Amino acid sequence: MTRFESLNSDRLLLRRFADGDLPTLVAYRNDPAVARYQSWSSLSEAAARAFINDLRDAEPGKRGEWFQFAIALKATNEHIGDCALLVRADDTQQAEIGYTLARSHQGLGYGTEAVRCLLDYVFHELEIRRVIAQVDCRNDRSVALLERLGFRREGHFRQSFWLKGAWIDEYLYAMLAAEWRALRM
C-alpha cells in the first residue's frame, strides 16, 4: 500500500498535518465560534502537538480509526482547517466524515470543495459504498454544505447528544457511492 500524502482540488490540498500547522490548529480549535457545534471546546498546544504526532504513521481508511486531513490552500500551503474520515470497524464499506474550517476561511466555498475532494477519494480510491455525516441541527451552514453536495437527510435524532451542557438534536445525512457517481457525471 502506498503511503498517503495528499489530495488535490482546484484551490486546496488535503494533506497530512505538518509541524508548521500547530499554530493554526490551536487557533481555530480554540475559537468559540468554530467550536460552537463541535464536541470539543478547546485544544492545548501540547494536545495539538500530540494530535499531529499521532497522525504521522496513520493512514486514511484504516478500519475503526479516525484520520484527520489538514486542509491547505494549494497556492500557499497555508493550513485553514481539517477533514475527518472514519471507516467503520464493523463494516468497512461504510464511513463517516467531518470537517472544520478556521473562521477566516468560512463562507468562501472551501468547505464544499474540501468535502467534495474527500468524497472523490473515499468513493473512488477507498471504494467505500456509503458515507454518513452527523450534524447539529442548529448548524445551518453545515446542513447547507451537505445538501449542496447531494447528501440525503436520513434521520433527525431528538436530544441525542449531550453537548456543552445541553441535549441537542442531530441530523444524519448519507450518500451512496452510486449517488455520488451520478452527481459527478
Do the Cβ atoms of 169 and 142 come closer than 8 Å? no
pLDDT of res. 54: 95
Q: What structural domains does the chain harbor? A: 6-131 (3.40.630.30)
3-class DSSP assignment, residue 31: coil
Cβ-based neighbour number of residue 77 at 10 Å:
13
| Residues 81-103, mean pLDDT to the nearest whole number | 97
- The DSSP string of 101-164 is E-GGGTTSSHHHHHHHHHHHIIIIIS--SEEEEEEETT-HHHHHHHHHTTPEEEEEEEEEEEET
* 84: nearest Cα among 97, 71, 93, 72: 97
pLDDT of res. 175: 98
**Percent residues over pLDDT 70 in the chain:** 99
- Indicate whether this model's pTM tops 0.75: yes
Per-residue cell: 132: 454518513
Per-residue cell: 65: 480509526
**Percent residues over pLDDT 90 in the chain:** 95
| Residues 157-170, mean pLDDT to the nearest whole number | 94
Instruction: Provide the residue type at 87 as one letter.
Output: V
pLDDT digits 0-9 by tens, 13-43 = 999 999 999 999 999 999 999 999 999 899 9
Query: If pLDDT is split at 50, 70 and 90, which confidence band does 1 have?
Result: low
